[in-house]
Chain A
């Protein structure tokens, strides 16, 4: 058998897993591994400028491809810098393997230079973690890490590797296990047939049904089954922030996003439903508003691969534990063969009601007549310029909600954002991961002047690897969402929510070797947007000044039901 050092084993295992990109940053504890990386060219190492960006880039790669993102960081500060990105991936169930260096094993616990208990720090934000104790264990641990990260409910897995165990001086036999069996980890592979049939029977009795589809549908590649099922039944579909794209947003049956900033029709339909099929969604507090007042008349079927997600926030009447793709597929085949058909008459009335909600309070905003842009216009212009075909990543805040509302995502994996953790600084590095995966596709990062500055250093990485990302900086010179809450709940006292001393983003982009374009008036927008996308091999930083007073609507009224919303600054339901 071939003999390899620990460092060589790590790199060989990545090759055996088919890893294309490894996002990382070198440092003392991982130098042996970096030396092994230097001596091969199968795994492309991407040098970021901050370890947080490495995790977000791996995350963007994972979200857009469905393959695990892989990260390599050194011990101590390298590892702790990665923590925010690991937590981001954990909250959104993203498959990721993070390799962190550690001080040599005989120094662990001595507060050695750049030592940190990464296993301890990460315990609540990883699906699992491994601490390597013996070089010979590396192949098996790597196999297990990838297996755990990508199966069941996916998530990040950390491997902590002490430096001495990667030493080039000691070589051990290497064989990569073809499969792994763990008695304590057996993710469910099929939903319970009896439950599925029962759920379908209940579904066909519905008079006011809604399908509520979340990120699980995207991650499980279950979109096709969702679409066919919804069309077969003529049932309305609403998506969570994470589920956008799993059902075509331009389709008549799509009600848009639901929740705190969901559409009026989606939230009204949920509240008034007599049946809700929750597929790969987790009844997050940003969706349900007060759970005690949630959908009072609805029978709830909840499909989730994670049993702990079921009945955690809202009690499911018919729980189905299983991979959402298999369950939806099985539901579809039962619906096709069963004699019972949906109640067409009630359904027609239900659609009439939904269309009424749409007509009254569909997504809308008022344009300024003084030429000052509204942020929504920027997203609409982006949608037009890209024909709805771009991968769109976002940061966190108002611009994220405007992107979710106004960019009509027709395909899964097209919309990439930090939903669960809400991580500012996610947008640019995740766009890098997407652009690495799809070098010929349009990748836009919708961001704000606050979020972009949280990982602005990655403009340098983008230059190094010629990533032609289009950064759409919706610049309202303030922390828009914070400001909105202060307007609505704190008497307009804008405590620390404005951004003074902004850089000249055009010059900043140029100093990093990119193209910068500033847009200050509405009539400049479309032309600038088109120009940005015409520069196919350049990163373009579009700095668009918008009205800082704009709010995101609809907005749930706190501690109420889903139907209780602010519809504008002055109207509420």
Chain B
């Protein structure tokens, strides 16, 4: 089962390598990973997606919690949450295709952020599924895809902070 684990950790050199290293060392997979400092510059928020059964995820979260620089973490998939990923995608668009691509972008509520004679660069935010669906729906040649990896936050009153 796919999980989104969101980690609040010390914004210190080496902290990220410990998280990533732990996954390699213990044979867990990281599907996506995104990390940036929070409003409190001493803290970073790291979100990663991984796959595993309950036993495996329990081990992953316990092992992550053991890392000295990890302050707190939550498995967002345990409760209601919002997840978003941003994608920048370059699509070949010439002639009649230009209108077609534009239409698909509108349907997915994307934005065209750069245009050349033969290309559109599209920005799209949404769940991983939605971004996958967009790539599937575009009936033009995809030149380049850049995805941010999943970010997430719990719905409602729940807050991950110190």
Contact = CB atoms under 8 A, between A and B. Distances in A.
A430 to B, nearest CB: 26
Interface in A113-164: 119-120, 123-124, 127-129, 131, 133, 148
Nearest to A307: B62
A123 B59 contact: no
Interface in A323-379: none
B68 A123 contact: no
Contacts, number: 37
A185 B10 CA distance: 11
Interface string A297-312: 0000000001110011
Contacts of B63: 308
A502 interface: no
A212 to B, nearest CB: 21
Most buried by A among B21, B62, B69: B62
Contacts of A185: 68
B68 A148 contact: yes
Contacts of B9: 184
A134 to B, nearest CB: 12
Nearest to A144: B68
B65 interface: yes
B18 A184 contact: no
Contact of B71 (A120, A148, A183, A312): A183
Most buried by B among A124, A184, A307, A308: A184
Instruction: Determine the main DSSP class of B at the interface with A.
Output: helix
B66 A306 contact: yes
Nearest to B162: A183
Given A120-B17, A308-B59, A184 B69 contact: yes
A182 interface: yes
B117 interface: no
A123 B17 contact: yes
A183 B11 CA distance: 13
Given A123-B17, A131-B13, A182 B59 contact: no
A124 B25 contact: yes
B62 A308 contact: yes
Nearest to B22: A124
B58 A311 contact: yes
B14 interface: yes
B71 A184 contact: yes
Interface residues of A, number: 19
Nearest to A125: B25
Interface residues of B, number: 21
B70 interface: yes
Nearest to A184: B71
A182 B68 contact: yes
A225 B26 CA distance: 34
Interface in B63-88: 63, 65-66, 68-71
Contact of B70 (A123, A131, A184, A312): A184
A542 B62 CA distance: 47
Interface string B5-19: 000011001100110
Nearest to A120: B17
A279 to B, nearest CB: 19
Contacts of B62: 307-308
A508 B40 CA distance: 63
A143 to B, nearest CB: 14
A306 B67 CA distance: 12
A131 B17 CA distance: 13
A312 B68 contact: no
A516 B69 CA distance: 51
A120 B9 CA distance: 19
A308 B58 CA distance: 8
A458 to B, nearest CB: 31
Contacts of B14: 119, 129, 131
B15 to A, nearest CB: 9
A66 B1 CA distance: 43
Contacts of B18: 123
Contacts of A119: 14
Contacts of B71: 183-184
A559 B40 CA distance: 51
Nearest to B25: A124
B66 A308 contact: yes
Given A123-B17, A131-B14, A312 B59 contact: yes
Contacts of B69: 184
B21 A123 contact: yes
Contacts of A312: 59
A184 B10 contact: yes
A403 to B, nearest CB: 32
B2 to A, nearest CB: 22
A307 B25 CA distance: 19
A61 B26 CA distance: 30
Nearest to B70: A184
Interface in A89-134: 119-120, 123-124, 127-129, 131, 133
A128 B68 contact: yes
Most buried by A among B59, B63, B68: B68
A311 B63 CA distance: 12
Contacts of B70: 184
A313 to B, nearest CB: 10
Contact of A124 (B13, B21, B65): B21
A312 B66 CA distance: 14
Contacts of B65: 307-308
A185 B72 CA distance: 10
14 contacts: A119-B14, A123-B18, A123-B21, A124-B25, A128-B68, A131-B13, A148-B68, A183-B71, A184-B9, A184-B68, A184-B70, A307-B65, A308-B62, A311-B55
Q: 3 closest pairs, A vs B, by CB?
A: A308-B62, A184-B71, A124-B25
Interface of A: 119-120, 123-124, 127-129, 131, 133, 148, 182-185, 306-308, 311-312
Given A120-B17, A182-B68, 17 more contacts: A119-B14, A123-B18, A123-B21, A124-B21, A124-B22, A124-B25, A127-B68, A131-B14, A148-B68, A183-B71, A183-B162, A184-B69, A184-B70, A184-B71, A308-B59, A308-B65, A312-B59
